[in-house]
Copies of this chain bind each other. A is one copy, B any other.
Amino acid sequence: MSAFAPTEARLDVTRAKYPDFPRGPAVLVRLIKHLFKEIHDEANALLRPYGLNHPEYNILMMLYGSPDNSMHPSALADAAGEKSANITRLTTQLCEKGYVARSGSDADRRKVTLTLTPEGLALIDGFLPGIVTLLHKQTRNLTAGEQDQLEVLLKKMLAGFGE
């Protein structure tokens, strides 16, 4: 029996009380919330031994995903889905730990450039094997074809936001 069954039962009760409540959309939203929490918690557990949490990991990986291992804070905020005030705090921590370096920009002096240090790159090399294993584990119930399908549908849904 799926762990999600109680959620569906609750939704049935809700619809009995308030028939307009849309079952499909509500299920999707609750599924996404549950998945996010699970993903978040598992990643946190894996990263704790490295002294990192999930948001810090995300920032390191966004920088790693840039050809020169560097980004500006505002781009990082978009990429990591964090508020810019939080980027300041998180990157300050990563700087203090020595994984990221801050530097000014000559072209636009408002901007700051954040770059992975050699220590940061070494840390990433250290935790990536575990992350790869975790990612496979988290999607093991889906075939490659199902993953593609899911990706298409999630993108389509996401495209409906912020318009």
Interface residues of A (CB under 8 A from B): 2-4, 6-7, 9-11, 13-14, 17-18, 20-22, 24-29, 31-40, 42, 58, 61-62, 64-67, 78-79, 81, 125, 128-129, 131-132, 135-142, 144, 146-151, 153-162
Query: CB-CB < 8 A to A29: which residues of B?
Result: 39, 135, 138
Question: Do B34 and A33 have beta carbons less than 8 Å apart?
Answer: no
Partner of A65 from B13, B35, B125 at Cβ < 8 Å: B13
CA distance A36 to B30 in the complex (A): 9
Question: Do B13 and A67 have beta carbons less than 8 Å apart?
Answer: yes
**CB closest residue in chain B, given A14:** B65
Query: CB-CB < 8 A to A161: which residues of B?
Result: 35, 38, 42, 138
Given the known inter-chain contacts A22-B132, A136-B22, A159-B2, please indicate yes or no for A150 contacting B28, CB distance below 8 A: yes
Question: Do A128 and B21 have beta carbons less than 8 Å apart?
Answer: yes
CA distance A21 to B75 in the complex (A): 22
Question: Do A139 and B158 have beta carbons less than 8 Å apart?
Answer: no
Show 9 residue pairs from A and B whose CB-CB distance is below 8 angstroms, ordered by the A residue: A13-B65, A13-B66, A24-B147, A25-B147, A27-B151, A28-B151, A32-B35, A38-B158, A142-B157
CA distance A27 to B158 in the complex (A): 13
**CB closest residue in chain B, given A24:** B147
Query: CB-CB < 8 A to A33: which residues of B?
Result: 36, 39-40, 58, 81
Query: CB-CB < 8 A to A7: which residues of B?
Result: 79
Query: CB-CB < 8 A to A62: which residues of B?
Result: 10
